[in-house]
A and B are shown apart, each in its own frame.
Chain A
């Protein structure tokens, strides 16, 4: 088990940059189905020195990965639509945060308070949306007594407080 994965690793390391951003999103927030569809055909391998030897190992490892992503995709497709909308909102917030970080890396971090408030507002709305998703999800046993309207009202209240602070801190 370790060695095919190790070989698969070396191969993957060449094409890592394209995939790292999307993988980071998977790591940080809930599973995203766009990533799954995009990665179901991993052909872009450019390293030539190890190709022949690793082809067999690669195929089993990639087959595993493909199976994994297909399962993820099908499992995710079964979630209700309202949760998918919340997930889309979360992705939007995270992408906005990434764009802001990239922009800061390009033009510098002055004024720092504006950058901080912009970044934290995106992160904050993403976190609050995740909390809303947790509370609204029907499969969550702990929250079955909580009416979704109450969850949404809490979400709105918390967002109001967050954005009041952001407005103050934006400068």
Chain B
């Protein structure tokens, strides 16, 4: 029974292991897909948030008009009167992917609507991302670590938050492209195959198409190459993995209209060119060292170093002069805000105002990557034993992504795959050590050759890891506790009939308890992930719900307002609102807006902000100059919705004040405090935002009690002179006002007033905020 392992049974075991791995990967894919479906089950199959509505609208255009019209599309229904060049300013990867998917499905006579395809794109690509994480970790450490990392990535809450069904945003496909590009790079590095290097460049092209975060790849890979060179790990495989990527990657990146010539002219890409030159120098040095004798090589070195220094110095001086001449040293605003976290708050208030760009708090790390936060350091240590090119890349990836996630909470998303890879490595190594300890201390069995022990050790580790995984994947259906799991493990451990006396093995009881505790850790992780997916990250934010003592309330006010706009206004009417709602308005209400979430023109946004902060007449003038017909405000005071326009008002003041100096923030604060009650400043009480939010609010409960600010409002009874209310939704969350046309005739006024009011033209010239 304890005989020599025959070759047939070892290949049989290998084959069995492979089949089991494929089956587990399939289950992981299904898990990744289904854990993201909570919002579809709880609400409906609807697109969430703000940015996805823009992507949805673009995809609709693509499917209706074809790719040439999409590529050349100039959108005149946003940023009125400027318009927006969609073809040149959007990252086309996501829309092209969904469009292709829709076209393939329709050609197979599966008539899914564009909305359905858009809603479910993210879960599908998260399944692909888990498989890519398996491939990547397999290259770094092995199959066991790969499976664990894939299972962890399928469930990690940080990734779920940006890729639920309905979150149709760039990150849905970009994270898959990121992991896949890294996998192909490591594969090319490990095998030295030019084929994988080509595939790497193509995958990098897909990443550039999908997300602005591609600069992370094009800076991380050169950093890793430099690290390898500096630590003496230069090899020709490194050259083959890196040099074609730079050339092909730069070319492919320039093909995407959004990037264009930025691929060779901005500082984000200079690192890759610098390391390109460095790797050629190093390659040449190694080549010459190979063909020369040592003393000749020394002569060559002195000769080359002296000449080369002069040439390099000249080139470097020219480059530095070119870069230093631009005020931002060639970096874009967003990249600068990553490198210097205080940059945005000092210079670009729009970037600073986005809530996703704030630094994360400590609890958000635990919420978003949970147990992995403890396992990452163990994984880093495991990567050093032994250190290979691939594991040094994994360490570099986790270190840089931890830094960037500390700058912007939105970049926790880039940390998630790195954390899963590290934790997968840590968990699989830990399981390996413990199960080896158990196996080699089981009493009463002898062993023949160490080769077979290693072989069965591997399969044993696979078995245990897979047991844990299949148990975990069972867990996501509401099954009960984990009592049968540890029994299963111990049974599986005792089945193996081989053992051997080996050194550096942990005691048997400790190993058993440790395995049990690790499995318990995994169970906690799974429970947390499912809870986070179900409760925290599945809100579509266009539909709100609340539970009270008399049941479930659903607040569908946004869609109600957009529906009203769609059916009760002319097609060419312009709607002004704060930029948050621009995408939703164009997509759902199909009306032209003044500013939207793209925030590319700060002055235009400042104009709208100034209008919202000014008194009625001045605001009417500004809006009239922009041909606005309707103004939309979001008000949460009646139901306690905290993200309404009154809470965002100070940002409107700041951004408006940044361009139009007559708006001063202290005018709106009483003793440095922002209030809307009776102690509020007159500027605040007279501003358009206050008036439009609280018009007739006192009629709701007689006292005008604002549930968000928890006070009674300051000015309760007032009339609107230049605007008229046309629609307020059921819970008063969205209020739409129409600009009153100017009076034809002024009675009883002097000639001066008549000439002022009779023609809009002279009126706007006088109070024109543009002068």
B-binding residues in A (CB < 8 A): 1, 5, 9, 12-13, 16, 20, 23-24, 26-31, 64-65, 67-68, 71-72, 75-76, 112-113, 116-117, 120, 123-124, 127-128, 130-132, 134-135, 139-140, 142-143, 146, 151, 154-155, 157-158, 161-162, 165-166, 168-169
**Cα of A9 to Cα of B306 in the assembled complex, Å:** 8
- For A151, what are the chain B residues with a Cβ–Cβ distance below 8 Å? 194
A65 vs chain B, min Cβ distance (A): 6
- For A124, what are the chain B residues with a Cβ–Cβ distance below 8 Å? 244, 247-248, 251
- The stretch of B231-239, B569-577, B629-637, B678-686 in contact with A is B231-239
**Cα of A146 to Cα of B296 in the assembled complex, Å:** 32
B179 vs chain A, min Cβ distance (A): 22
- For B202, what are the chain A residues with a Cβ–Cβ distance below 8 Å? 161
- For A142, what are the chain B residues with a Cβ–Cβ distance below 8 Å? 192, 235-237
Closest B residue to A158 using CB positions:
B198
A71 touches B296 (CB 8 A): yes
> Which residue from A1, A120, A132 sits with its C-beta under 8 Å from B302?
A1
- For A165, what are the chain B residues with a Cβ–Cβ distance below 8 Å? 248, 251-252, 255
- The stretch of B279-287, B430-438, B529-537 in contact with A is B279-287
- For A65, what are the chain B residues with a Cβ–Cβ distance below 8 Å? 299, 303
23 of the cross-chain contacts (CB-CB < 8 Å) are A26-B304, A29-B284, A65-B299, A68-B299, A72-B291, A72-B300, A75-B292, A113-B261, A116-B254, A116-B261, A117-B251, A124-B247, A128-B244, A131-B240, A131-B243, A134-B236, A154-B193, A157-B195, A158-B194, A158-B197, A162-B247, A162-B248, A166-B251
**Cα of A130 to Cα of B251 in the assembled complex, Å:** 19
Tell me which residues from 645 to 675 in chain B have a Cβ below 8 Å from any Cβ of chain A. none
**A131-B240, A134-B240, A143-B192 known; A31-B247 Cβ under 8 A:** no
> Which residue from B195, B250, B284 sits with its C-beta under 8 Å from A27?
B284
- For A117, what are the chain B residues with a Cβ–Cβ distance below 8 Å? 251
**Cα of A89 to Cα of B237 in the assembled complex, Å:** 21
Closest B residue to A6 using CB positions:
B306
Check B90 for interface membership: any CB of A closer than 8 A: no
Check B543 for interface membership: any CB of A closer than 8 A: no
- For B255, what are the chain A residues with a Cβ–Cβ distance below 8 Å? 165, 168-169
**Cα of A139 to Cα of B280 in the assembled complex, Å:** 19
Closest A residue to B201 using CB positions:
A161
Check B741 for interface membership: any CB of A closer than 8 A: no
- For A154, what are the chain B residues with a Cβ–Cβ distance below 8 Å? 193-195, 198
- For B495, what are the chain A residues with a Cβ–Cβ distance below 8 Å? none
> Which residue from B198, B235, B288 sits with its C-beta under 8 Å from A157?
B198
A55 vs chain B, min Cβ distance (A): 19
Known contacts A67-B299, A130-B239, A158-B195, then 4 further A-B pairs from the complex at CB < 8 Å, ordered by chain A residue? A23-B311, A68-B296, A117-B251, A134-B240
Chain B 309-324 near chain A by CB (<8 Å), digits 1 or 0: 0110000000000000
Check B308 for interface membership: any CB of A closer than 8 A: yes
- For A1, what are the chain B residues with a Cβ–Cβ distance below 8 Å? 302
Closest B residue to A75 using CB positions:
B291
A118 vs chain B, min Cβ distance (A): 11
A-binding residues in B (CB < 8 A): 192-195, 197-198, 201-202, 235-237, 239-240, 243-244, 247-248, 250-252, 254-255, 261, 264, 280-281, 283-284, 287-288, 290-293, 296, 299-300, 302-304, 306-308, 310-311
**Cα of A68 to Cα of B292 in the assembled complex, Å:** 9
Closest B residue to A123 using CB positions:
B247
**Cα of A138 to Cα of B202 in the assembled complex, Å:** 30
- For B281, what are the chain A residues with a Cβ–Cβ distance below 8 Å? 27
- For B296, what are the chain A residues with a Cβ–Cβ distance below 8 Å? 67-68, 71
Closest B residue to A20 using CB positions:
B311
B194 touches A135 (CB 8 A): yes
**Cα of A130 to Cα of B198 in the assembled complex, Å:** 15
B637 vs chain A, min Cβ distance (A): 54
The interface centre, meaning the residue of A27, A75, A155 with most chain B CB atoms within 10 A of its CB, is A27
B240 touches A29 (CB 8 A): no
Closest A residue to B243 using CB positions:
A127
A114 vs chain B, min Cβ distance (A): 12
- For A166, what are the chain B residues with a Cβ–Cβ distance below 8 Å? 251
- For B247, what are the chain A residues with a Cβ–Cβ distance below 8 Å? 120, 123-124, 127, 162
Closest B residue to A156 using CB positions:
B194
B244 touches A127 (CB 8 A): yes
Closest A residue to B196 using CB positions:
A154
**Cα of A71 to Cα of B264 in the assembled complex, Å:** 39
A67 vs chain B, min Cβ distance (A): 7
B194 touches A128 (CB 8 A): yes
> Which residue from B237, B261, B299 sits with its C-beta under 8 Å from A112?
B261
- For A116, what are the chain B residues with a Cβ–Cβ distance below 8 Å? 251, 254, 261, 264
A58 vs chain B, min Cβ distance (A): 13
> Which residue from A12, A68, A135, A161 sits with its C-beta under 8 Å from B240?
A135
**Cα of A165 to Cα of B247 in the assembled complex, Å:** 11
9 nearest A-B pairs in the assembled complex, by CB-CB distance: A154-B194, A75-B291, A124-B247, A134-B236, A158-B198, A127-B243, A154-B195, A71-B296, A131-B240
**Cα of A84 to Cα of B201 in the assembled complex, Å:** 28
> Which residue from B237, B251, B311 sits with its C-beta under 8 Å from A162?
B251
